[in-house]
Structure 1
Amino acid sequence: MRAKEPTTTLDLAQNPPMVSRRRLLVGSAGALASVSLLGFSPLARSQTPATLPDYAAWKSLSDLIVHSANTMETRRDAIGSGVLTPSDKLFVRNNLPSPGEAIATDRDAWTVNIEGVKNPRALTIAELKTMGVETVAAVLQCSGNGRAFFPHGASGTQWSVGAAGCVLWTGVPLRTVVDALGGVADGMNYITSTGGEELPEGIDPKTIRVERSVPVAALDRAILAWELNDDPLPVTHGGPLRMVVPGYYGVNNVKYVRHIAFTPNQTDTKIQVSGYRLRDIGVKGASDQPSMWEMNVKSWVTSPLEQTPQGRHMIYGVAFGGSRAVASVEVSLDGGGNWQQARFLGPDLGPFAWRPFVLAANLAPGDYRVVSRATDSDGNSQPENRTENERGYGHNGWKDHGVTLKVT
């Protein structure tokens, strides 16, 4: 394998979707100084955060809202205006307790079984690395991001906007692996990935196992990732190896992946059959309801957020198209009465990444309701209102995501 080559902002702008055998350094002091890539966090913290659990102790406590030991949200004022989310600010969501660091003691020896192909076999990370290395920038977002805005009190973590981030995943494209194993077997309609969490005894594994199926059409975008933002993938975020499906909600990006099978049907585990289903309020989950697969177009303002003096200000935010590129963003200062075109900041890292945006505005004293509305490359725009549903999934309505700004 060739030695790593440095990646510049120009490289990323010219080769956005997947940058083969390249890296964008995001952890060093030099990279942190680059506003165009990592942005800034302009507001002071108003809350004293709780303590981080041991497995996430390396994260930036002041930039997170700790909802529970398994759920940590990036503060809205910590999202900033950057193209990429630093790993220590990235939200955390676990369906099961995070396994210990021992699973990553020998990363290259981690094994994943591939079935439903012409020549099924187990492969180590070391073997996967010989097949090819590519990097993709993609938004990682929990299905419940925005749940806190649902008035019926949807159960689950009350995420606001911070259960999302844009990061670099490095690994081998799943298509490359499958082709090396003779291709997908006939009659297979889904890619089913199984996590490597240790399951408690005495409980039916199907009721708690993290095992998700996505349509086989996702094969050409999926990647088996072993790096996050140019560092070894932390166990906190699914290391040593994670199934990453750009454009799909986070639950489909299975952590500590141990088993990948191409299957004729979706898995019969609870998390697939009745979990993560878009259903009416008061209705139980069922397999005939839409599954939380592909993300939709979305945006929100990140700064300023509360009170600011009169004068000329820059309104910042982030926008993404989910499974499509985001094409444009508009900002309204009066709750949607009038709209102005915002401009994108920084390089375009591809259709699955988010685009920071900015609007310059002269603000006189008064109260403003600042909202943003994104449109993707297919012409789909954010709706005004949320789609009411039992679990508060898939919220991309622009109205709820606005902020009230007081100008003095």
Structure 2
Amino acid sequence: MSVSPHSEHESAPAPTGPVNLERRQLMLGSAGLLATAGLVGFSPLARAQGAPLPDYVGWKNADALIMHSASTLETKRDAIGRGILTPSDQLFVRNNLPAPDSSIMNDTEGWEVQIEGVNNPRALSLAELKRIGVETVVSVLQCSGNGRAFFPHGASGTPWTVGAAGCVAWTGVPLREVVRELGGVVDGMNYLTGTGGETIPAGLDPKSVMVERSVPLAALEQAMLVWEMNDAPLPLAHGGPVRLVIPGYYGVNNVKYVRRLAFTAGQTDANIQASGYRVREVGVPGSPDQPSMWEMPVKSWVTSPLTSATAGRSLIYGVAFGGVHGLARVEVSVDGGNRWAEARFLGPDLGRFAWRPFVLATELAPGEYRLVSRATDDRGQVQPEERTDNERGYGHNGWKDHGVTVTVA
């Protein structure tokens, strides 16, 4: 597991009971450094008071989303559904900086990405990228802080429960083909570094807020430059015109509005990498020697039922994924993890980076049940029972916290 902190504001201690989570989501936001700079200008309470979605996400289904702030929208747990692909209008949104002006979508074919650290460096337009190659890969997109609401120490940042994740079909060119076209990676390069095209507010040190992330060079094998999402042009809200996507890696590494890709000897010194998204003990500041939020681990959770069910035959649904590895199986328990039964996968297997909806049919008598799920990847790594406590509430894949209590009548 890996992690890093971005400048989300400090929050009050988190209630741990599931009944209090929705109230906590209304109380807290993730404005952080942007709020201190006066850039967000949006109260997390506004959605509860009936405010419309911001313009750049105005096309989304507001009834399927929890709005924490103008830049953070979470998919409701009961909206995740039983299909493999997450509808684009229900997919969560997490922006570290305000989205660029919509005018950048006026000439998508002309959008350029500068490629560096290759033997023949140059800028390539989207039109040129499309001529190099094309591939569609289905993968889970998940925020590093998904599950943060379950940490008892009140980790700062957006109080995501399970909805800062979705499964998306990305279409674009494999980065390895682009690199081959440009003569290969220069010797001695250890990292792939992507830089976003957001506007840096005047008066701020660019390194303090810019979205620039480095991942190990091994990620080149699955990295893509994408221009379509779920068979439609990549929207501004999700990084259009062009986004770097690294299947199996946490969302922060999937740089939106990508303007520059560089193969580098070391990691970027931008704050989002140097001290941000780093896994460390509670109370410890971020530093470059700590694990970074790169590869995702195996994870699952129940999506239905969530609060109540009728006695008799019940179908328990959920989603599971292996992170950077394939998924082998998922089990469900109705008694909080004392006894387990293997669930059945729904629908086709769309590759090792996609999630698999699952279902377990069981008989439930009247009473109260604690429903939990536990996934195993194809390397034999089992989803752990407990979270790993850390300062920023990153990388939570413990099955115990993700359970739901259901009353059967």
Output the TM-score relative to the length of structure 2. 0.88
Moved beyond 3 Å, runs of 4+: 47-50
Match of 1:378 in 2: 379
What secondary structure is seen at the aligned counterpart in 2 of 1:338?
coil
Match of 1:286 in 2: 287
Shift of 1:152: 0.3
Shift of 1:284: 0.1
1:117-266 correspondence runs (5 A): 117-266=118-267
Match of 2:10 in 1: none
Q: Distance in 2 between matches of 1:236 and 1:264?
A: 31
Note the alpha carbon deviations across 1:159-214, whole angstroms, 9 max, x for none: 00000000100000000000000000010000000000011111110000000000
Match of 2:296 in 1: 295
Match of 2:98 in 1: 97
Note the alpha carbon deviations across 1:208-235, whole angstroms, 9 max, x for none: 0000000000001000000000100000
1:323 to 2:324 alignment: yes
Alignment-mate amino acid for residue 106 of structure 2: T
Shift of 1:313: 1.0
**Cα distance change, pair 272–85 in 1 and its aligned pair in 2 (3 A):** same
**Cα distance change, pair 318–54 in 1 and its aligned pair in 2 (3 A):** same
What secondary structure is seen at the aligned counterpart in 2 of 1:179?
helix
Output the TM-score relative to the length of structure 1. 0.88
Alignment-mate amino acid for residue 193 of structure 2: T
Shift of 1:51: 2.6
Q: Distance in 2 between matches of 1:185 and 1:307?
A: 58
Counterpart contact for 1:50–1:66, Cα < 8 Å: no
Alignment-mate amino acid for residue 243 of structure 1: L
Q: Distance in 2 between matches of 1:146 and 1:392?
A: 8
Q: Distance in 2 between matches of 1:223 and 1:50?
A: 36
Structure 1 spans left out of the alignment, 5+ residues:
1-46
Shift of 1:311: 1.2
Alignment-mate amino acid for residue 159 of structure 1: W
Q: Distance in 1 between matches of 2:402 and 2:223?
A: 30
Match of 1:15 in 2: none
User: 62-71 vs 304-313, which deviates more?
Assistant: 304-313
Note the alpha carbon deviations across 1:293-346, whole angstroms, 9 max, x for none: 000000000001101211111100000000001110000000000000001000
What secondary structure is seen at the aligned counterpart in 1 of 2:132?
coil
Counterpart contact for 1:211–1:269, Cα < 8 Å: yes
Shift of 1:50: 4.9
Q: Distance in 1 between matches of 2:158 and 2:103?
A: 28
Cα RMSD (Å): 0.8
Match of 1:114 in 2: 115
What secondary structure is seen at the aligned counterpart in 2 of 1:166?
strand
Shift of 1:48: 7.8
1:341-352 correspondence runs (5 A): 341-352=342-353
1:84 to 2:81 alignment: no
Alignment-mate amino acid for residue 255 of structure 2: V
Match of 1:271 in 2: 272
